[in-house]
Structure 1
Amino acid sequence: MGMSGHSKWKNILHKKEKTDSQRAKVFTKMSREIIVAVKEGGGPDPAANSRLKDCIAKARAVNVPSDNIRRVIEKAAGNDGTNYETIVYEGYGPSGVAVIVETMTDNRNRTASEMRHYFDKYGGNLGATGCVSWLFDKKGVIVVESEDLDEDKVLEDALETGASDFSNEGEVYEIYTEPDDCGTVTEALAKKGYVFVSAEVEMVPQNYIALQSEDDVRKMQSLLELLEDNDDVQNVWHNWEE
């Protein structure tokens, strides 16, 4: 088994050392996801709303305090809280790197014009929906630090809880699931005492592109930074071999 190097764990590990302001940003993104899950997924009770249940598992996996989670759910349930819609943008970065940007926005026009501006500014272009998503597979990806964990035991636990694949990436183990099983497997592993670096449904690239010129690398980094820093952006997936 193993789909070596297939996720963004390197970025995640480097994200873990980030500052409080960036932690706050993670909370903001998770809050939006929870609000949308309550409103679109069927109400504030996770037992009756699997989308919300998955969001809560994901929020816990990235250390969002339970109080914060509860407050956001209450707010959304009381119809207090902005209406966000999920819009996915697809396009190309420099030298044809495929980029998928998942946003949650309360102002579609603002977000669309910002996305277009970012891509244009750094030698890329936004395309039509579907233009690059065929280059990715949608999978649940659960990442745990490998330190102090026995590989055989993790593999056994992963398969027992319903995972479909496993990969040893050195500093971390990656556990893959079908997209719909991500929340259930995360929860089952949490009950077994696992602590996660991340746990979410990701768009995993089938192939990677290496950028040759320093200029392209600089442009790609700048594009990703702009996207990551935009409050409306929930996730960025790309196939650049960093």
Structure 2
Amino acid sequence: MGRAFEYRKARKMKRWSTMAKAFTRIGKDIVMAVKEGGGDPDTNPRLRAVLQNAKAANMPKENVERAIKKATDKDTSNYEEKVFEGYAPHGIAIMIETASDNNNRTVANIRSHFNKTGGNLGTSGSVEFMFEHKCHFKIANTGQDLEELELELIDYGLDEIYEEEDGIMLYAPFSEFGHLQKAIEEKGFEVISSGLDRFPMDTKELTAEQRADVDKLLERLEEDDDVQHVYHNMKEEEE
């Protein structure tokens, strides 16, 4: 399968945040999962996946338990998930996934980030077509033959597989997340982490000065408490 190299590179375009931010993001994911399907991971696939991610991120057990307890409190409001789209300076496409308990605040803040850095907040669908929406699973590498594993999972939506130092990456279309998750679990593979990604179909190269302009917006978005993930199509600097 020919896109493994592109996926490795494109994963860098999902802006990763500090550990504290990562724990906050996972905490929100736990609340949303529990509100959706209850607090028992055995009967809630979404929660099960989030708890795997919490473990992979080395999130302290007490943080996880606190988030679950908070989510089961009927007075705790749920988070609304919303995706924003727009352009950073120099025509760089941006997609922002948010989870918020105050949508008016989130909309105002996202608009402000774009306005103050020379970007333009777009309408729904304005840049989404420029990204592939994929799901991924990282499973433990126990010496599986990748070609055999691919054949075993291809009927469950798998369309990309490659090996990393700490596991095997599996990719499928966003719509196949539940289908592939169920197959992986039924076949007894150990899931290390899972999630969703947006990969740019093409990337745009900028000068160092132009990159600095785009980074101003990306940094503001990453620091926003309501923002879960930020994606862009700016070409990464050569290492």
TM-score band w.r.t. shorter chain: 0.7 to 0.9
Q: Shift of the alpha carbon at 1:76?
A: 0.7
| Counterpart contact for 1:57–1:186, Cα < 8 Å | no
Query: Which residue does 2:94 correspond to in 1?
Result: 99
| Counterpart contact for 2:174–2:196, Cα < 8 Å | yes
Taking the aligned partners of 1:30 and 1:117, their CA distance within structure 2 comes to: 25
Letter in 1 for 2:145: K
* Deviation digits for residues 7-49 of structure 1 (CA, Å, limit 9, x no counterpart): 543467x95xx8xxx212211111111112222x232223333
Q: TM-score, normalised by structure 2?
A: 0.78
Query: Which residue does 1:6 correspond to in 2?
Result: 7
In structure 2, list runs of 5 or more residues that go unmatched. Answer: none
In structure 1, list runs of 5 or more residues that go unmatched. Answer: none
Q: 1:36 and 2:28 equivalent? A: no
Aligned length: 229
Query: Which residue does 1:24 correspond to in 2?
Result: 20
Superposed counterparts of 1:20-169, under 5 Å: 22-39=18-35, 41-142=36-137, 153-154=145-146, 156-157=148-149, 160-161=152-153, 162=156, 164-166=158-160, 168=162
**Off by >6 Å, runs of 4+ in structure 1:** 169-172
| Counterpart contact for 2:32–2:78, Cα < 8 Å | yes
Q: Shift of the alpha carbon at 1:235?
A: 0.7
| Counterpart contact for 1:54–1:182, Cα < 8 Å | no
| Counterpart contact for 1:57–1:187, Cα < 8 Å | no
Query: Which residue does 1:217 correspond to in 2?
Result: 211
* Deviation digits for residues 53-86 of structure 1 (CA, Å, limit 9, x no counterpart): 3322333333324443233122211225343211
| Counterpart contact for 1:157–1:189, Cα < 8 Å | no
Taking the aligned partners of 1:35 and 1:155, their CA distance within structure 2 comes to: 38
Letter in 1 for 2:114: F
Query: Which sits farther off after the overlay, 47-56 or 28-37?
Result: 47-56
Q: Shift of the alpha carbon at 1:188?
A: 4.0
Taking the aligned partners of 1:52 and 1:108, their CA distance within structure 2 comes to: 24
Cα 1:156–1:195 shift into 2, 3 Å? farther
